[in-house]
Structure 1
Amino acid sequence: MADKIHLENILFLDIETVPEKSSFDQLDKTTQELWAHKSQYQRKDEVSAEEFYDRAGIWAEFGKIICISVGYFTFQKEVRSFRITTFHGDEIKLLQDFKDLLEEHFNHVKHVLCAHNGKEFDFPYIARRMIIHGIALPNKLDLFGKKPWEIPHIDTMELWKFGDYKHYTSLKLMAHVLGIPSPKEDIDGSMVRAVYYDDNDLNRIIKYCELDVLTTAQVYLRLRNESLLEDIEVKKVTKLS
Structure 2
Amino acid sequence: MIHKLQLGNILFLDIETVPENENFNSLSKEKQELFAAKTAYQRKDEILPEDFYDRAGIWAEFGKIVCISVGYFVFRGDIRTFRVTSFHGEEIELLKAFKNLLETHFNRPQHLLCAHNGKEFDFPYIARRMIINKIDIPYKLNLFGKKPWEVPHIDTLDLWKFGDYKHYTSLKLLTNILGIPSPKDDIDGSQVAAVYYKENDIDRIIEYCEKDTVAVAQILLRLRNEDLLVDDEIKKV
| TM-score tier (shorter) | over 0.9
SS at 1:167 equivalent: coil
Q: CA deviation at 1:179?
A: 1.1
Query: Shift of residue 141 of structure 1?
Result: 0.2
Alpha-carbon displacement from aligned partner over 1:177-200 (angstroms, at most 9, x marks no partner): 111122462111110010000111
| TM-score, normalised by the number of residues in structure 1 | 0.97
Q: Distance in 2 between matches of 1:134 and 1:183?
A: 33
SS of 2:164's equivalent? coil
Aligned positions of 1:37-76 closer than 5 A? 37-76=37-76
Native 8 Å contact 1:69 1:87 kept in 2:
yes
Q: Aligned pair 1:6/2:17, yes or no? A: no
Q: Shift of residue 211 of structure 1?
A: 0.2
Tell me how many residue pairs correspond in the alignment: 237
Give the whole-Å Cα distance in 1 for the aligned partners of 2:183 and 2:90: 27
1:24 aligns with 2:24: yes
The DSSP-based 3-state class of the residue aligned with 1:16 is: strand
**Higher deviation after alignment, 142-151 or 43-52:** 43-52
1:178-193 to 2 correspondence within 5 Å?
A: 178-183=178-183, 185-193=185-193
The structure 1 segments of at least 4 consecutive aligned residues displaced by more than 6 Å after TM superposition are none
The answer on whether the counterparts of 1:185 and 1:211 sit within 8 Å (CA) in structure 2 is no
1:99 corresponds to 2:99 = yes
Give the Cα separation in 1 of the matches to 2:60 and 2:189.
16
Tell me the distance in 1 between the aligned counterparts of 2:34 and 2:230: 47
Paired-residue identity, %: 70
Matches within 5 A, 1:14-163: 14-163=14-163
Q: Are the counterparts in 2 of residues 81 and 233 from structure 1 also a CA contact under 8 Å?
A: yes
Partner of 1:228: 228
Give the unaligned 5+ runs of structure 2: none
Contact 2:172 2:184 in 1 (8 A): no
Q: Structure 1 CA distance, aligned partners of 2:160 and 2:198?
A: 36
- Provide the rounded CA distance (Å) in 2 between the counterparts of 1:16 and 1:219: 19
Query: Which secondary structure state, in structure 2, belongs to the residue aligned with residue 200 of structure 1?
Result: coil
SS in 2 for 1:71: strand
Give 1:2 shift: 1.4
Query: Which whole-Å deviations, capped at 9, do the CAs of 1:160-211 have from their partners, x for residues lacking one?
Result: 0001011000011111111112246211111001000011111001000000
Task: Write the distance in 1 (CA, Å) between the matches of 2:184 and 2:13.
Answer: 19
Question: Distance between the aligned counterparts of 2:232 and 2:81, measured in 1?
Answer: 8
Amino acid at match of 1:22: E
- Long gaps (5+) in structure 1: none
**CA distance in structure 2 between the aligned counterparts of 1:205 and 1:24, rounded to whole angstroms:** 22
Instruction: Report the AA paired with residue 119 of structure 2.
Output: K
